[in-house]
């Protein structure tokens, strides 16, 4: 059964110590989809404006992403512009132009309503909630958010947390939302708010996974040349959710492998601007790096 | 063959979200020794003042630490006072009173000069250099330092780096000393300065190991209740160096296990104030947590 992902499709302009790129195809749903496609068919739910380049549509289509519910509307595409300095761990947002995102109401087909694997990538929690309500009987629902919503739509976010299976957050978001500094405590707090699986992304420091029965953490795959971290979190989520979506059941072993796939996919993502690396990646290259990681971790 | 460690023996006063303790036995050499003793006989080289409590001497002695070269001098013992807030990742130093440390000249016995495993724990690089010169033919020399020396005795530190096999630094120190943000690049730079093994400690995020032939990293063992992180780095170094010191040869497998032992020992250390936890630890508890960690990391 395929995946449906709701989120943003954006035009990103970034500056990093390795250079500058303008109007790259970006957004939470685009990065998620380009990563999850390694495991499953991905239905993308998002909105773009009339200025959105045809080549980006063709690119997503060519990569097998189902675009039936990508709305093309009058107005401008959501644009984000940011800069990374120093250790490239945090982006400095230079500008955000919501454009068509400000009146986005996701619309999906009757066929899509029956999809069992749902990922609510970063977008207004009220839009996330709207989509989730239209789903028939999802088997697995994942949620991502960001600091802006944690501070400005806290209530809506907590309401949503009750309805999802997986919450994927970065360390700062987990701390902000829980009020706990220790990440295990933060994860336990968030678990109490609903989701049975809490995944805390720590950027270059890897991932912490929390559920009632076990906790585990992995370092990031060591990457020397981080070119552009934009979309790394969504790429992680795509690999994680993509792998889980094709499993018959969910065990500790399966969850570990899902985290590892997310880790490996995002390690490629950061090695190029935007979707540069993820788009030319082969399943063989992914598995080869996974085996290398396995060797690195063995002791 | 035993280990010799040069460093500080201190009276620490700390405040953390879990409480406050005054005049705890601390210092780089004390934490290192109490950890390395799980693997090997440890000779401690340090200085204390006339105010140093007899009970601390008895404690170290009872734990098998060789105190022949622990100088007791007129003057006051080195005192450090600090506070940890929030995520307990960084200490805020409230005061440092050097006391007898300001005129410390290590003196060791002829027997100790022949010891093959040397660890230069955090203390003035000129004192570290002085001790190293008095060693006959060390097989394995490890070095730790801190930001203060990186900024104030940079030249002496670089000179020393040429003479050691292992450099153990925390992430901030590695960045400051190399001028590189990416830790793999920082490690490569430091490798170029002399030591064949670079170990970068990232606190709650684990450890990155770098040498010419391979790189690996491990997360920290997940600890929910971090009571007091003072001495965690020295405890790591003690486990790492202690394990290496009793190996016939050094391979990737051995180095990984050394990092893991360091990781496990420091995970206990942070669960109590000062040496509270490390001092009551059994080899069995260490190995049991090591096996748990192995299970956590397996995928």
Per-residue pLDDT tens digits for B212-241: 999 999 999 999 889 999 999 999 999 999
CB B129 within 8 A of CB B157: no
Q: What kind and span of H or E run contains B45? A: strand B42-48
Percent of residues, chain A, with pLDDT higher than 70: 100
Residue B106, Cβ neighbours under 10 Å: how many? 20
pLDDT (0 to 100) of residue B140: 97
pLDDT at residue B5 is higher than 90: yes
pLDDT (0 to 100) of residue A86: 74
pLDDT (0 to 100) of residue A292: 95
The average confidence (pLDDT) of chain A is: 96
Measured between CA atoms, the residue of chain A closest to residue B181 is A87
pLDDT at residue A87 is higher than 80: no
pLDDT (0 to 100) of residue A88: 76
pLDDT at residue B86 is higher than 80: no
Per-residue pLDDT averaged across A170-194, rounded? Answer: 95
pLDDT at residue A99 is higher than 80: yes
DSSP conformation class of A85: -
Which residue in B85, B180, B217 has the most chain A C-beta atoms within 10 A of its own C-beta, making it the best mutation to test that interface?
Answer: B217
pLDDT at residue B157 is higher than 90: yes
Distance (Å) of CA B71 to CA A241, B35, B50, B59, B101: 60, 21, 10, 16, 11
Q: Which of residues 117-176 of B touch A (CB under 8 A)?
A: 175
The Cα B65–Cα B44 span in angstroms is 7
CB B182 within 8 A of CB B217: no
CB B102 within 8 A of CB B79: no
- B111-126 pLDDT, tens digit per residue, is 999 999 999 999 999 9
Going by C-alpha positions, the residue among B73, B48, B13, B7 that lies closest to residue B274 is: B13
> What ranges do the domains of chain B cover?
3-293
pLDDT at residue B87 is higher than 80: no
- A44-66 pLDDT, tens digit per residue, is 999 999 999 999 999 999 999 99
Q: Do A184 and B224 touch (CB under 8 A)?
A: yes
Q: Which two tokens stand for residue B121?
A: 């724990």
Question: Is B179 an 8 Å CB contact of chain A?
Answer: no
Question: Is B292 an 8 Å CB contact of chain A?
Answer: no
pLDDT (0 to 100) of residue A85: 82
Q: Do B184 and A222 touch (CB under 8 A)?
A: yes
Helix/strand/coil for A98: coil
pLDDT (0 to 100) of residue A224: 87
Give the nearest partner residue to A299 out of B215, B224, B294, using CB atoms. Answer: B294
pLDDT (0 to 100) of residue B8: 98
Q: Which carries the bigger pLDDT value, residue A87 or residue A42?
A: A42
Percent of residues, chain B, with pLDDT higher than 70: 100
Question: Is B184 an 8 Å CB contact of chain A?
Answer: yes
ipTM rounded to 2 decimals: 0.75
pLDDT (0 to 100) of residue A90: 75
Question: Is B296 an 8 Å CB contact of chain A?
Answer: yes
Pairing assessment for the beta strands A19-26 and A42-48 based on DSSP bridges: unpaired
In the sheet that holds B91-97, the strands lie side by side as B19-26, B10-16, B79-84, B91-97
pLDDT at residue B139 is higher than 90: yes
**CATH 3.40.50.300 describes domain B3-293:** no
Tell the CATH topology of A3-297: 3.40.1190
Q: Do B222 and A208 touch (CB under 8 A)?
A: yes
pLDDT (0 to 100) of residue B91: 80
Question: Is A222 an 8 Å CB contact of chain B?
Answer: yes
Question: Is B260 an 8 Å CB contact of chain A?
Answer: yes
Q: Which two tokens stand for residue A156?
A: 């809506």
Q: Do B218 and A219 touch (CB under 8 A)?
A: yes
Per-residue pLDDT averaged across A267-281, rounded? Answer: 97
Distance (Å) of CA B48 to CA A1, A240, B99, B102: 69, 54, 9, 11
pLDDT at residue B88 is higher than 90: no
- Band (A92; pLDDT cuts 50, 70, 90): confident
Per-residue pLDDT averaged across A134-148, rounded? Answer: 95
The average confidence (pLDDT) of chain B is: 96
pLDDT (0 to 100) of residue A1: 82
Question: Is B299 an 8 Å CB contact of chain A?
Answer: yes
Percent of residues, chain A, with pLDDT higher than 90: 93
Going by C-alpha positions, the residue among A52, A43, A208, A214 that lies closest to residue A131 is: A43
Contacts of B175 in chain A (CB under 8 A): 87
Q: What kind and span of H or E run contains A216? A: strand A215-218
- B241-293 pLDDT, tens digit per residue, is 999 999 999 999 999 999 999 999 999 999 999 999 999 999 999 999 999 99
- B165-192 pLDDT, tens digit per residue, is 999 999 999 999 999 989 999 999 999 9
Contacts of A218 in chain B (CB under 8 A): 219, 297, 299
């Amino acid at each position: 059964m395929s995946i449906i992902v709701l989120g943003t499709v954006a035009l990103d302009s970034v500056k990093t110590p390795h250079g500058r790129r303008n109007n790259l195809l970006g957004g939470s749903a685009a990065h998620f989809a380009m990563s999850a496609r390694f495991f499953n068919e991905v239905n993308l739910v998002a909105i773009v404006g009339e200025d959105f380049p045809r080549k980006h549509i063709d690119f997503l289509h060519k990569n097998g992403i189902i675009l039936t519910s990508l709305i093309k509307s009058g107005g401008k595409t959501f644009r984000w512009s940011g800069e990374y300095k120093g250790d490239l761990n945090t982006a400095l947002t230079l500008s955000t132009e919501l454009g068509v995102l400000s009146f986005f109401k996701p619309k999906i087909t009757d066929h899509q309503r029956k999809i069992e694997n749902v990922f609510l990538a970063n977008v207004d929690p009220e839009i996330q909630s709207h989509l989730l309500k239209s789903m028939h009987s999802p088997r697995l629902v994942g949620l991502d958010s960001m600091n802006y919503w944690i501070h400005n739509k806290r209530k809506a976010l907590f309401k949503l947390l009750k309805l999802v299976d997986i919450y994927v957050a970065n360390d700062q978001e987990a701390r902000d939302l829980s009020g706990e500094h220790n990440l295990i405590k933060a994860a336990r707090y968030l678990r109490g708010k609903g989701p049975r699986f809490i995944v805390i992304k720590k950027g270059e420091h890897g991932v912490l996974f929390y559920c009632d029965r076990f906790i585990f953490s992995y370092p990031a795959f060591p990457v020397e040349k981080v070119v552009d971290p934009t979309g790394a979190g969504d790429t992680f989520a795509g690999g994680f959710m993509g792998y889980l979506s094709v499993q018959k059941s969910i065990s500790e072993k399966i969850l570990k492998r899902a985290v590892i796939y997310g880790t490996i996919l995002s390690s490629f993502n950061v090695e190029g601007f935007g979707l540069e690396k993820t788009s030319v990646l082969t399943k063989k290259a992914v598995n080869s790096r996974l085996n290398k990681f396995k060797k690195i971790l063995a002791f």
